[in-house]
Amino acid sequence: MYESHYGLKLNPFAVTPNPRFLYLAKSHREALAALSYGVRQRRGFICLVGEVGTGKTTLLRAMLEQLNVSARTVLLTHTTLDRVDLLRMILHELLIPNAGLTRVEMIQALQEFVLNELFARRPPPLILADEAQNLAVDVLEEVRLLTNLEIGDTKLLQVILAGQPELERKLAQPELRQLGQRIAVRARLNPLDLEETAGYVRHRLRVAGARDRGLLSRGALRKVYTSTGGIPRLINMVCEQAFVNAFGSNRKVVTEALVDEAARDLGLVDPDTAPGGRTGSGDARPFWRSLLWPRGAS
């Protein structure tokens, strides 16, 4: 709606994950390097952890594009699967017929498939589980058992578990200690700091076609940070609303007041000024989790 008014070719703040807009802050750059290393070196289990809205899905898509992965990839987005459903989905995504097969027969079919991939000198299939903290303990154990398919040091399956910090706590449970011990590569995404938040906003505007670097004032960028805690998804939401408000007021520059208005429109309260907010620790993550992931949601 406001794109042409500001000389933009694309919507810079769409919340849909898009690797084209990936901004590599310090933790994102380190996590991308770790994921790329783990996949290239066929390390088996890889774990990516980050708070809600920090860009895990975007980073995973960027990694797959960057590596130009030729391996068959299974993306698991449904986290309420049981063990049999898990096997059926994996076989379905790999185009392996599975109608009427028992659990044991499905495991045998998968094993035959991955062995054929190995003999054909193709990369091992990659299983990518998003929101993995919601997977049941027995399903995670099933995934571990599937990775027992190996010849010597060659892994016949690779698995990336991506999820919120609860995933780390779940993997530390006694019943999952064998899986936790097999995580070969671990990566973490953190919220952006003030400088990274400004860089993130400018990067997205530049990718969207902006020629004017001054579409947001310095005060506006500071307010974006304090009203979002550096969470990329919230940054997108606040900036989108601020540009809509600026467009409605026929403003050419998004000011601090417009960002503050946008944050209030979205129900975001600056934790520095809210009762019971931050006390100087700089850790706003619990506050932002409550905004992005309502209490009781799963």
Provide the 10 A C-beta neighbour count for residue 42. 18
Cα(125)–Cα(69) distance, rounded to whole angstroms?
A: 10
Please list, in sequence order, all residues whose beta carbon lies within 8 angstroms of the beta carbon of residue 171, skipping any fewer than 6 positions away: 47, 140, 179, 180, 183
In a shared domain, residues 183 and 198: no
Both 196 and 185 in one domain: the answer is no
Q: What is the CATH number of the domain that holds 267?
A: 1.10.8
In terms of domains, do 64 and 157 share one? yes
Per-residue confidence (pLDDT) for residue 72, from 0 to 100 = 85
**Is 175 in the same domain as 255?**
no
Q: What pLDDT score was predicted for residue 208?
A: 93
Q: Which domain holds residue 179?
A: 26-189
Question: Does one domain contain both 175 and 228?
Answer: no
| pLDDT of amino acid 166 | 95
**Where does a domain end: 189, 218, 233?**
189
Residue 8 lies in a domain: yes
Q: Mean pLDDT in each 10-residue stretch from start to end of the chain (298 residues)?
A: 84 90 95 93 92 93 80 85 93 94 94 90 88 94 87 82 95 93 94 97 94 90 96 96 92 94 85 42 42 44
- Amino acid found at 196: E
Half-sphere exposure of residue 39: CA atoms within 13 angstroms, side-chain side = 26
Q: What is the pTM of this model?
A: 0.84
> Are both 126 and 147 inside the same structural domain?
yes
What's 99's domain CATH number?
3.40.50.300
The pLDDT of residue 66 is 80
User: Residues 201, 157: one domain?
Assistant: no
Mark whether 232 and 269 lie in a shared domain: yes
The type of residue at 21 is: F
Straight-line distance from the first to the last Cα atom of the chain, in angstroms, rounded to the nearest whole number = 33
The reply to whether 21 falls in a domain is: no
> What is the C-alpha to C-alpha distance for residues 189 and 216, in angstroms, rounded to an integer?
26
User: What size, in residues, is the chain?
Assistant: 298
Residue 135 lies in a domain: yes
Q: What is the pLDDT of residue 156?
A: 84
In a domain, 260, yes or no: yes
Q: Given the structure tokens 């304090």, which residue do they identify?
A: 226
Residues 171 and 196 both lie in one domain: no
Of 160, 189, 218, the one marking the end of a domain is: 189
C-alpha distances in Å from residue 261, one per residue of 5, 144, 158, 187: 20, 48, 46, 36
Provide the number of structural domains found in the chain. Answer: 2
Residue that terminates a domain, selected from 172, 189, 206: 189
The DSSP-derived string for the chain is --TGGGT-SS-TT--S--GGG----HHHHHHHHHHHHHHHTT-SEEEEEE-TTSSHHHHHHHHHHHHT--S-EEEE------HHHHHHHHHHHTT---TT--HHHHHHHHHHHHHHHHHTTPPPPEEEETTGGGS-HHHHHHHHHHTT-EETTEES-EEEEEE-THHHHHHTSGGGHHHHHTEEEEEEE----HHHHHHHHHHHHHHTT---TTSB-HHHHHHHHHHHTT-HHHHHHHHHHHHHHHHHTT-SSB-HHHHHHHHHHTT---TTTSTT---SS---HHHHHHHHS-TT--
